[in-house]
Amino acid sequence: MSKGPARNEKLLKDLAKLIGEKKVSNKIPDLISYSHDYWPISFFWFLEGSIPSMPDVVVFPESVEDVVKVMRYAYENNIPIYPYGGGTGVLGGAVPEYKGIVIDLKRLREIKIHDYDLYVEVGAGTNGMLLEMYLNKKGYTLGHFPQSLYASTVGGWISTKAIGQFSTKYGGIEDMLLGLEVVVPPGEVLHFKPNPRAAVGPDLKRLFIEAEGLLGIITKAYLKIWPYPEKRVLMSFGSDSLEDALNSVRNIMRRGAKPAVIRIYDKIETKKWFYMVKKAKNKVGTIIILEGDPVLVEAEKRIVEEEFSNAIPLGEEPVKYWLEARFNVKELSEYLPLGIVIDTIEISVPWSRAVDLYNDVINAMRSVKGTLLAFAHASHFYPQGVCFYFIFGGIPPKESSPVEYYREIWRVTMETTIKHGGAISHHHGIGRMRAEWIMQDLGKPTFSLFRKLKKTFDERNILNRGNMGL
Cα 306 to the chain's mean position, in Å? 33
What is the chain's alpha carbon radius of gyration, rounded to the nearest angstrom? 23
- Residue 363 makes CB contacts below 8 A (sequence gap 6+) with none
Instruction: Sketch the per residue contact string, 243 through 282, with ligand FAD: x for CB under 6 A, - otherwise.
Output: ----------------------------------------
DSSP characters over 186-199: TTEEEEE---S---
Which is closer to ligand FAD, CB of 71 or CB of 90?
90
Cα(157)–Cα(66) distance, integer angstroms: 22
Q: Which stretch binds ligand FAD (CB under 6 A): 146-154, 188-196, 226-234, 281-289?
A: 146-154
Q: Does residue 388 interact with ligand FAD by CB under 6 A?
A: no
Q: Does residue 57 interact with ligand FAD by CB under 6 A?
A: no
Which is closer to ligand FAD, CB of 183 or CB of 234?
183
Asked if 205 and 184 touch (Cβ cutoff 8 Å), the reply is: no
The secondary element (H helix, E strand) that includes residue 45 is helix 40-48
Cα(235)–Cα(289) distance, integer angstroms: 6
Residue 341's beta-bridge partner residues?
A: 394
Q: Does residue 38 interact with ligand FAD by CB under 6 A?
A: yes
Cα(146)–Cα(424) distance, integer angstroms: 19
Q: Select from 464, 465, 466, 470 the one that contacts ligand FAD (CB under 6 A).
A: 464
Q: Does residue 218 interact with ligand FAD by CB under 6 A?
A: yes
Cβ-count burial of 9 within 10 angstroms (0-12 exposed, 13-18 middle, 19+ buried)?
middle
Instruction: Sketch the per residue contact string, 78 through 97, with ligand FAD: x for CB under 6 A, - otherwise.
Output: ----xxxxxxxxx--xx---
Instruction: Sketch the per residue contact string, 161 through 190, with ligand FAD: x for CB under 6 A, - otherwise.
Output: -xx---------------------------
Residue number with the smallest Cβ distance to ligand FAD: 156
Site residues (CB under 6 A) for ligand FAD, limited to 329-358 = 329
Residue 83's beta-bridge partner residues?
A: 103
> What are phi and psi for residue 197, nearest 5 degrees?
-165, 150
Q: Does residue 242 interact with ligand FAD by CB under 6 A?
A: no
Q: Which stretch binds ligand FAD (CB under 6 A): 160-168, 232-240, 268-276, 352-360?
A: 160-168
Binding-site ranges for ligand FAD (CB under 6 A): 37-38, 82-90, 93-94, 105, 124, 146-148, 152-153, 155-157, 159-160, 162-163, 212-213, 217-218, 329, 427-428, 464, 467
